[in-house]
Amino acid sequence: MVIIIGGGLSGLLTAFRLKQANIDFKILEAKDQIGGRIFTKTTDHETPIEMGATWFGRQHHSLIKLLNELELTAFPQFQGDYYFYDDINSSHHGKYKLPQQEPSYRISGGSKTLIEKLAGQLEQDQIQVNTRITQIRQEKDELIIHTDKEQEFLATEVVLALPPKIWAHQISFQPSLPQELEQTSGNTQTWMEDSIKAAVEFKEPFWRRNDHPETIMSNFGPFIECYDHSNQQESKFALCGFLNPEFKKLDNAKREAEVLKQLSAILGEEVQNAISYHEYIWSDDDLVKWPKNTFMQPHQNNGHPIFRESYYEQRLIISGSESASTFPGYMDGAVEAGEYAFEIISKKMKQSKINK
């Protein structure tokens, strides 16, 4: 049996391919839900809000190919005509015309539809949530996986479909992995680990009137990036983006107040008619940021060649978005990593049959 550790996009895609190939597997996911850093929150008013992975571009061929295979569609991010640079201490503070550029895209129905479509192809007992891995041990021709619930799983192959820094700091390996791998993994930045995503929901997109800016940029915040987050049907409306991580020091109510104050100063008093506020602080997630007291530059060591090596006699395979050779840290990188893990397992099994 193949054990896949992590039920995010890369892990689910590997499982999907194994299912197609009739290869036995099981996903072990530490959280109480699958999806990893794809997290689409649905509000009480049925507005899909992306608290995690959101956008992709035409250059992300691996993701686009998978969306087409699964018959999922996408739509261009609404950009509008203007953006606002928010810095009252700068002479550049104000509204500007947006330059022409290739649009980003969002998955119709929310990024979660990709997770749901992949998971929907699997059997219910092939995914086990609320299961943290504490140790992976090699014994002869098997790997033994221990969990925090004192469960034990035997595997022919193990796929590490989670951020390198997480497994490097949270899982014990016997025998020890090569020192270079341990050091590189422990010093690989995890995408989103210091991010705060936030969104403000409205009944109507008032900002599209009177030449209001649809995009906000700031070096200080609270929003350092803010975009129109209306759905594809343009029936649900929100503004969504990234907050300055420094605003984590405030409590939720004060952050919300600061967000509304910033938006009101730029878009007017109609902001006060917001119907809900949502946020997710990724640095509070132990399966995204660990250890807590470290800071790394974005994409540090992402895509490192060492992650494309297999260990424990090719039984331990490194996957996850940060391990991808192209676009590491993005959804496209997670797709590439998931496909790569399956290819290694498939080739190994074919070779085993030939040798027999």
Q: Where are the domains of the chain?
A: 1-38+111-189+293-356, 39-110+194-287
Q: How many CB atoms lie within 10 A of CB 125?
A: 7
For the chain, 356 residues long, give each residue's pLDDT as a single digit of tens: 999 999 999 999 999 999 999 999 999 999 999 999 999 999 999 999 999 999 999 999 999 999 999 999 999 999 889 999 999 999 999 999 998 889 999 999 999 999 999 999 999 999 999 999 999 999 988 999 999 999 999 999 999 999 999 999 999 999 999 999 999 999 999 999 999 999 999 999 999 987 899 999 999 999 999 999 999 999 999 999 999 999 999 999 999 999 999 999 999 999 999 999 999 999 999 999 999 988 888 889 999 999 999 999 999 999 999 999 999 999 999 999 999 999 999 998 887 767 65
Tokens of 292: 């807590």
Q: Report the CATH fold assignment for 1-38+111-189+293-356.
A: FAD/NAD(P)-binding domain (3.50.50)
State how far the Cα of 249 lies from the Cα of 252, in Å rounded to an integer. 9
Q: Do you know the residue count of the chain?
A: 356
Q: Which residues pair with 228 in a beta bridge?
A: 239
Tokens of 45: 């008013």
State how far the Cα of 165 lies from the Cα of 329, in Å rounded to an integer. 13
3-state secondary structure of 175: coil
State how far the Cα of 187 lies from the Cα of 302, in Å rounded to an integer. 9
Q: Whole-model pTM above 0.75?
A: yes
Residue in the block written with tokens 């041990």: 137
Q: Is the distance from CB of 163 to CB of 184 less than 8 angstroms?
A: no
State how far the Cα of 107 lies from the Cα of 112, in Å rounded to an integer. 8
Q: Is the distance from CB of 325 to CB of 343 less than 8 angstroms?
A: no
Strands 133-139 and 172-174, bridge-based pairing: parallel
Q: Report the CATH fold assignment for 39-110+194-287.
A: Polyamine Oxidase; Chain A, domain 2 (3.90.660)
